[in-house]
Amino acid sequence: MEASETGFIEGTGGVRLFYQCWLPEGQKPRAAMVITHGGAEHSGRYQNVVDYFVPRGYAVCGLDNRGHGRSEGQRGHVDRYEHIVDDLALLCDHVRHRTPGEARLFLLGHSIGGLTALSYAIKHGNSGSCPVDGIIVSGPCLALSMKVPPLKGALGRLVGSVFPRMTVDSGIPPDAISRDPEVVAAYVSDPLRYPRITLRFYTELANQMAKTMAAAPSVQLPCLVLQGGKDAIVSPYATKRFYTAMTCRDREMRVYPDSFHELFNDINHDEVLADVADWLARHGGL
């Protein structure tokens, strides 16, 4: 499905950020969803989500993170992780202002986007002016399944303090994203995918994971947590630990025992999307 609208918003520091929206045809949106994507990808990789929810009356909008996709910024780099969170807040405000007042707004984050969505909820979710009514996180990046040897991590931090914009491979094995070989092939050949990150991004990500994990009780927005049981990229154990540490009463977690990392692109994505739709219906989304 082609995007109904594309454009740019100005992010922190004047960085131009690309966004795209898919709108239901011939009707006002009954609800809206903002997508924040994972590492080494972009907002265009969520067509299964778009194709499922737009015909059901949703407006779906996605932002390419700075340094990703069609947004400005050095590829795979961020000076501070907080900039990604603040950029997301700008898009949420933008979508809220353009969505009918009676329509609810939900935030969906996958992987690093899941970390960003949770960080957003911690920073903005408890204010009376928060435009988001609930969040869905898929395989949130709270800890990596791929362990970094302590010596390598220490060397990375040391070199990164001197050469913060030096790039390294992101370490994401394509075969681990999905059990669907066509998804893996499309991921590998995607011209907008950038498979490297800077050392600064790595250290900022590590710090944000630790900070967000410690702040789990601060998430008070209604929250649906989704996790693949065979996720070899982010740690299913860390996701469960975060969920257990949450204190908000309106939270649910669903684990798909055989699923890989990209739940919305795995072979059982219809099951996952139906579960999301069920949760949204119970939270005023449909």
207-251 residue pLDDT tens: 999 999 999 999 999 999 999 999 999 999 999 999 999 999 999
The stretch 258-275 carries a mean pLDDT of: 98
- 124 vs 155, which has greater pLDDT? 124
Rounded to an integer, the average pLDDT of 65-90 is: 97
pLDDT at residue 281 above 70? yes
Total domains in the chain come to 1
For residue 117, is pLDDT > 90?
Answer: yes
Encode the chain in three state secondary structure. CCCCEEEEEECHHHCEEEEEEECCCCCCCCEEEEEECCCCCCHHHCHHHHHHHHHHCEEEEEECCCCCCCCCCCCCCCCCHHHHHHHHHHHHHHHHHCCCCCCEEEEEEECHHHHHHHHHHHHHCCCCCCCCCEEEEECCCCCECCCCCHHHHHHHHHHHHHCCCCEEECCCCHHHCCCCHHHHHHHHHCCCCCCEEEHHHHHHHHHHHHHHHHCHHHCCCCEEEEEECCCCCECHHHHHHHHHHCCCCCEEEEEECCCCCCHHHCCCHHHHHHHHHHHHHHCCCC
Kindly indicate the confidence band of residue 154, based on its pLDDT and cuts at 50, 70 and 90: low
pLDDT digits (tens, 9 = 90+) for 181-202: 999 999 999 999 999 999 999 9
Q: How many CA atoms lie within 13 Å of 100's alpha carbon, on the beta-carbon side?
A: 12
**Residue with tokens 């609810």, as numbered in its chain:** 104
**In the predicted structure, residue 279 carries a pLDDT above the cut 80:** yes
Q: Is the pLDDT of residue 147 over 80?
A: no
Q: Comparing C-alpha atoms, which of 216, 249, 37 is closest to residue 119?
A: 216
Distances in whole angstroms, Cα of residue 233 to Cα of each of 8, 39, 81, 203, 268:
31, 11, 20, 17, 18
CA 147 to chain centroid, in Å, comes to 21
pTM to 2 decimal places? 0.95
For residue 35, give the CATH number of its domain: 3.40.50.1820
| Rounded Cα distance, 5 and 26, in Å | 15
Round the average pLDDT of the chain to a whole number and report it. Answer: 94
Condensed to tens digits (0 to 9), the pLDDT of residues 3-61 reads: 999 999 999 999 999 999 999 998 899 999 999 999 999 999 999 999 999 999 999 99
**Domain membership of residue 20 as a residue range:** 5-282
